[in-house]
Structure 1
Amino acid sequence: MIKENRKILLTLNNVSVHPLDLEFSNIELLYFSPGLTSLIQPLDQGIIKSFKTLYTENLNLKNNHIMESNKDVSYYDLIKTIKLVDSLKLVLESLIGVSKDTIVNRYENSLKNSMLTSDDLQRNAEYGVSEFDFRLLMKRSLLVKSNKKFYF
């Protein structure tokens, strides 16, 4: 890609496992500012949590049923016997179990949370970001560099 002079924009969540000091000639790293992920990724606001809860419940129900019929099997031993196909079936059951209301509510909440107040706009202006530019960034899902903080 360097030979072809290709430019790459790599977007990353602002988490500690992503190093902030990397530099590449043809790759620019842009990081979500803290709090931005939940605004532009409503799945992080509850849909994934709901799925994980359902998956855990389904797994426990299945394992408890097996353990009740076979008293010699421990939960730990049972977990080790789970096959990939079993996990995929549990994933499917859990995804189907996430209600339409949960999905709709998460998206509605993310829209409410993305509304800017005048204080937010003033703080962003201190960094040289106009309301127009900020809204454009949000619409295009562009991200901010980690050394700047923007408020929502």
Structure 2
Amino acid sequence: MPCANAAGTHKLKLLVIGKAKNPRAFKNINRLPVVYKAQRKGWVTRELFHEWFHEEFIPAVKNKMKELNLPQKALLCIDNAPGHPDADELSSEDKSFQTLFLPPNCNALIQPMDQHVIKNVKLYYRKSLLLNVISKENEDITTILKKFDLLAAVFSLRGAWSKITSNLLQKSWKNLWPTLPATLEEEDLKPLSYLQKKYSEEKREINLIEDLCRKIIPDITSNEVQNWVNPTDEDILFTEDEIVSSVNEDRIDDTGDSDDGNEQEPVNENASHTETIKSFNVCLNWCMKNNIPEHKYLMLKDLQDQAIRL
């Protein structure tokens, strides 16, 4: 669950709901890049949301307001989902932090996080999943996805959330807050002819995901990629399970010189593309297991993504 302010300058940690109270993948991990809560069915319940509001939202916003030397108060705008407590439960004792419930059946129109924010988080996450598959060239895709545990998932989600720009967040609030003062971006100064030639960020990411999908499933169609990236509740035509099934049936085996033994070869100054990607995987796993600061992990992940595209 994403949450950010209207200025786009404060993104709270994502709230991730899992089924396991103490996931095996989190063993010996002292600090997670997200707020993780457990619920038997993986749902946001009234109790969990109440806990998140008082233990995560209020302290995080207070710290940000103190940092900016601003009054410590805020209004949280949310929908009328069944998992949300009543307004009187989502309020601080001094009423400095309160909640505004949006009208029912209006999420798609005015809920800020539904204005391409959640959509883009999913987009970046799915791209990360594909890059992870491609980075392990000589492994079976089913094995790769099984190794992609909850720890890897939350780090990928954190990476996806970090790519959401302040400009996108500001725009996401426009329907709810039309008079919100706009921050002049560098791109706003570009001539119209330049902007007309430039693809939107979302379109570029979809094109990249389509290219990545074709590296795994050569005959995949653009419509299938679109339905996997942006599935609807009524008609999900292309799911992760279908990717595994299709790849296992049609994937062309690559035969090359690979060392499946336990001994590691010395690093070559002119390492191959495969060796480079494997090295990145080792470093990223080490970062996750040793509580390396998030910004350093994300920098390394960006470098790996660039290497995969080469």
TM-score for the superposition, normalised by structure 2 = 0.24
TM-score for the superposition, normalised by structure 1 = 0.46
